[in-house]
Amino acid sequence: MSEPEDAALRRAVAPVICYPNETLPKPDMALYRAARAGAKKIDEVLASPREACTFEVPQGGFFRISSVEGPQVGDLNLWNRQDLSERFYSGKTRALHGTHLTTGERMWSSFPHLRPLATIVADTLDWYGMDAFGGAVHDVIGTRCDPYTGNLLSGAQYHHCCHSNLTRALSDHLGVSLTEAEPHVHDVLNVFMCTGFTRDTGQYFMKASPVRVGDYLEFFAEVPLLGALSACPGGDCSSEHTSDVSACYPLRVEVFETAPEALEGWAPPARSGYDGSHGR
C-alpha cells in the first residue's frame, strides 16, 4: 500500500506506557536483605545439562540459581505449591515490568490471583543493562524451547527441549504421568538468557549470555513455591537450541529458610482484589 499523506505525523506520535507501574506495591527490600542475612540453607539441587530439576521453597524463604561449570541459561517455572493452578504469568509480568527482570522486580501469578509469587532480591548481572543491539538479560519475552515448534519448523523429534525437561521433572516430582504434568508447564523466566527484538524486523533474537561461573539470581518466595528449572539445550544460547549441538552446563539451585522473627512486619501478598463478577 502507498503511504497516506500524514504517515510521518502518525509515526511521530509519542508512545504511552501501557501499565505505568509506580502504583505497584513496593517490595520492602531492606527487610528482605535482613531476612536473607540470617537465612539457613536447607536444600540444594542441580539441573543437569539438557535436564530439569525441581525444588520447593517455604513461604518467606529464598532460592538462588547459580551458574556452575560454564555459561548456561535456564528456563524457570514457578507454581504456588498449595495450588498449582496459580502459576507464573510471563505475559503479565512483561506488561508490568518490561521485557527483562532484575532486582526489585517480581514474577506475577496467573488470574484470578495476580500477585507476586517471587521477588528478585539479587542479580549479579544487573550491570549489563541494555546493550547496543537492544539485548538484555533474564527475559520474559521467550516462551520456552519446545518440541512442537521444532517439529513445525524442521520436522524434528527432539526430546530435551526445556518444555519436555520441565514436563519430565514435574511428572517425577508430583508422581503423575507426563500427560497429567504437561498442562502445568508454562512460559518461563529465561534466567541468564540475553535476548531482545531486532529493530528492523522486530524478530526475537538471542546472543551469547554474559553469564559466567559464580553469577547468580536470587529470589524471595512470597508464597510457598514449587519450582522447576531446565538447563536449556541451547547452552549459553550463542547459536542454536532444540538440538544437542551446543555446549551445555548444569545450573545449581539452593534453597534457604528464614527464621520467622526475621519476617516481622512482612505480610504475604493478598490475591487480587477484583470481585470476579465480570459485570454480571
Binding site for Zn ion (CB under 5 A): 75, 145, 162, 232
Q: C-alpha grid cell for residue 190?
A: 529465561
107 vs 223, beta carbon nearer Zn ion:
107
Q: How far is the CB of 71 from Zn ion (least distance, A)?
A: 14
Q: Which three cell numbers stand for residue 36?
A: 536473607
Distance CA 259, CA 149 (A): 45
User: By C-alpha distance, which of 142, 181, 189 is closest to 164?
Assistant: 181
Q: Is 131 helix (H, G, I), strand (E, B) or coil?
A: coil
Which CB, 80 or 171, lies closer to Zn ion? 171
Q: Which is nearer to Zn ion, 75 or 218 (CB)?
A: 75
- What the block records as the C-alpha cell of 144 is 520456552
Least gap, CB of 160 to Zn ion (angstroms): 9
CB of 215: closest distance to Zn ion in angstroms? Answer: 18
Closest distance of CB 99 from Zn ion, Å: 17
All cell numbers assigned to 68: 556452575
Nearer to Zn ion, 53 or 145 (CB): 145
Q: Choose between 56 and 75: whose C-beta lies nearer to Zn ion.
A: 75
In the complex, minimum distance from the CB of residue 217 to Zn ion, in angstroms, rounded to a whole number: 16
Pair 27, 107: CB distance under 8 Å: no
Cβ distance 271 to 113 under 8 Å? yes
Q: Cβ(247)–Cβ(70) under 8 Å?
A: yes
